[in-house]
Amino acid sequence: MVTPTVAVDLAAAGTLLAVGVWTLWRQSVPGAVALGVVMLAAALFPAAAAVTQLWSAGAAVSLHAVFSWRTVPSFWLAFAAAYTGRGPQFGTGLAAVAAVVAVAWQLPAVLWTVTERWSWFLELGWLLLVATAVYAELLLVRAGAAGDLPARQTAGLLVFGAAVTASLGAALPTSGSGPTLSVVRTVVAVIAVGGICVAVADGALRRAPGADRLARERLLESMREAAVVTDREGRLADANAAARDAFGVEPTAFGRSVESVFDATLPEPDGAGRETLTIETTDGRRTFVVSADRVTDDGGESVGRIYLFRDVTERLTDKRRLDVLGRVLRHNLRNDLDATRAFAERLATAPDDDAARRRLHDLARKLADTGETVAEMERLFAGQPSRESVDPSAVAERVAAACEPGDTARKADGGDTVRESDQTAAADTSATQVTVTTRTSGTAETDPELLRAALVELVDNGLTHATAARPTVEVVVDADGQTEIAVRDGEPAIPAREREILVEGEEPLRHGSGLGLWFVALAVRRLGGDLRFAQRADGGNVVTITLPDRDGGGQ
């Protein structure tokens, strides 16, 4: 007699069989074959319940259903892993091997069970199967939470998976033909049918979300630009290899506010969605053009943001260098050449004018110095900066030895930057003194030539403009971790206007007077460091170069 329960079982079995056949036909989608096997095995479950009630087949039919259903968890996990692109990637063949092992594991248990004894094989095997099914569910949850699967499709697959997990308890080969067990199997079958139908209706197996996600990940990882992805709340959710390398993104950073990770206010995706920001990196301070865009799901709802960081440090440095050189050619050289012509004309009419002769000599030396500085900039700024393990104290000692008495005299009265209260004649450079003080020793990963040239310019600038009878410059090195090199000179002070320009940048109507300190500022920028200016209590200057801690600290 066909009871309502039997009718429901037969309808559920027919539906699962039809869905299983359709799923096998969609085998081009990753995981489809594994899910088709699950559907066919699931169809046997309510079919066995109907046969048991119609013909009182009892434990024999039930036992066959149990063995069929015990193969399901391995195929269910194979589907979840392949379809979502997460978890262990193994195919249907490996899942079949796992299913055979699962059934074989139950044979000793069944031998004990038919004699109405319980076996630890059965208990342990059941726990392993449940764990396998639950793990597959977790993969689907992760895919749904990440937006890889639509909400309804995720819910349908999770309901079906829950039915799979729950049915493992109803598939114990104990009371195979009891009425209560038949009802449980019917309910489980109905839930499974409902879940899989919702998932299929919402687009399951019509595309490959796992492949889409893997393709996105491969594309993201292959990008040269740094890229990071956030969730709806602005928390860091993903970062490609370029971002992890450039910003030193640690696993603990994921889940934190993206702005706290980068210590910067990133642009909003609305409007231009693009800003130029200077951010601390593993290679020092670098300048990036940061663009922002929304990440949306299939329904157009925003599920997060993606930020792209394009490093423009070298381009901006080169542009600033060319701007400075252009300004020098337009303004400084023109003025110096006009003055040179004027003093030359004066000497033509008054050959004995010693003051005009000295000024003409100084202007010629200044023009020669400017040419040397330009040539040095072109040489040192060509290509990418090198990175070598450098002892900053040794570099400072080389600079001190190079700035011997007499060497700095070439810039006297023709230096780059006019100091405040620089009304007296240049100091006697034959009595100069450069000392090096090492507070803490260590090494720095940097370009030694760029660093040396910057220090030479700072020391030379301090000696050239000194008003003391015996000019003194001290180079203080602190290389414990983040390397700091401070060049301390005597008065007069570098004008505040000059310091602001070097820190903030060159402006058309607001420019510095020479190349020396600009050379230092651009060199430090290329090294990824910081340049700071301060004044001593006695009126002197302290110019500090800070280099990034690339090697993790001093030695």
Write the DSSP string, 446-486: E-HHHHHHHHHHHHHHHHHT--SSS-EEEEEEE-SSS-EEE
User: Is residue 197 domain-shared with residue 304, that is, in the same domain?
Assistant: no
What residues make up the domain containing 466?
383-546
Residue 256 included in any domain: yes
Give the residue from 151, 157, 136, 141 showing the smallest Cα distance to 205.
157
User: Is residue 29 domain-shared with residue 86, that is, in the same domain?
Assistant: yes
User: Is residue 297 domain-shared with residue 391, that is, in the same domain?
Assistant: no
What tokens does 11 get?
């309808």
Residue 554 included in any domain: no
Residue 361 included in any domain: no
Give the residue from 372, 452, 447 showing the smallest Cα distance to 416.
372
What local confidence, expressed as pLDDT, does residue 505 receive? 55
Q: What is the CATH number of the domain that holds 251?
A: 3.30.450.20
Q: At what angle do helices 151-170 and 72-84 cross, to 10 degrees?
A: 160
Residue 410 included in any domain: yes
User: Is residue 188 domain-shared with residue 270, that is, in the same domain?
Assistant: no
What tokens does 151 get?
């909400």
The three-state secondary structure class of 189 is helix
Helix/strand/coil (H, E, C) string of 55-122?
A: HCCCHHHHHHHHHHHHCHHHHHHHHHHHHHCCCCCCCHHHHHHHHHHHHHHHHHHHHHHCCCCCCHHH
User: Is residue 169 domain-shared with residue 262, that is, in the same domain?
Assistant: no
Distance of alpha carbon 208 from alpha carbon 545, whole angstroms: 54
User: Is residue 9 domain-shared with residue 158, that is, in the same domain?
Assistant: yes
Residue 346 included in any domain: no
User: Is residue 55 domain-shared with residue 195, that is, in the same domain?
Assistant: yes
Q: What is the CATH number of the domain that holds 454?
A: 3.30.565.10
Distance of alpha carbon 296 from alpha carbon 74, whole angstroms: 33
Spatial contact of 445 and 550, defined as CB atoms under 8 Å apart: yes
Helix (H) or strand (E) holding 534: strand 530-535
User: Is residue 117 domain-shared with residue 263, that is, in the same domain?
Assistant: no
Give the number of domains in the chain: 3
What local confidence, expressed as pLDDT, does residue 68 receive? 59
How many other C-beta atoms can be found within 10 angstroms of the C-beta atom of residue 334? 11
Domain ends where: 311, 331, 346?
Answer: 311
Residue 107 included in any domain: yes
How many other C-beta atoms can be found within 10 angstroms of the C-beta atom of residue 501? 19
User: Is residue 81 domain-shared with residue 199, that is, in the same domain?
Assistant: yes
User: Is residue 508 domain-shared with residue 483, that is, in the same domain?
Assistant: yes
Q: What is the CATH number of the domain that holds 32?
A: 1.20.1070.10
Residue 188 included in any domain: yes
Give the residue from 46, 35, 104 showing the smallest Cα distance to 72.
35
Count how many Cα atoms sit within 13 Å of the Cα of residue 21 in the half-sphere of its side chain: 5
What local confidence, expressed as pLDDT, does residue 387 receive? 84
Please give the distance of CA 335 from its chain centroid, rounded to a whole number: 49
User: Is residue 184 domain-shared with residue 253, that is, in the same domain?
Assistant: no
Q: Which residues of the chain have pLDDT under 70?
A: 1-2, 26-28, 49, 52-70, 86-92, 102-123, 125, 169-185, 206-218, 271-273, 297-299, 328-329, 404-432, 491, 497, 500-514, 550-555
Domain ends where: 187, 209, 231?
Answer: 209
What local confidence, expressed as pLDDT, does residue 28 receive? 63
The per-residue DSSP string of 483-515 comes to -EEEEEE-SSPPPHHHHHHHHH--BTTB--S-S
Count how many Cα atoms sit within 13 Å of the Cα of residue 128 in the half-sphere of its side chain: 16
What local confidence, expressed as pLDDT, does residue 88 receive? 65
Residue 296 included in any domain: yes
User: Is residue 199 domain-shared with residue 256, that is, in the same domain?
Assistant: no
**Token pair 């050239």: residue:** 464
Q: What is the pTM of this model?
A: 0.51
Domain ends where: 171, 187, 209?
Answer: 209
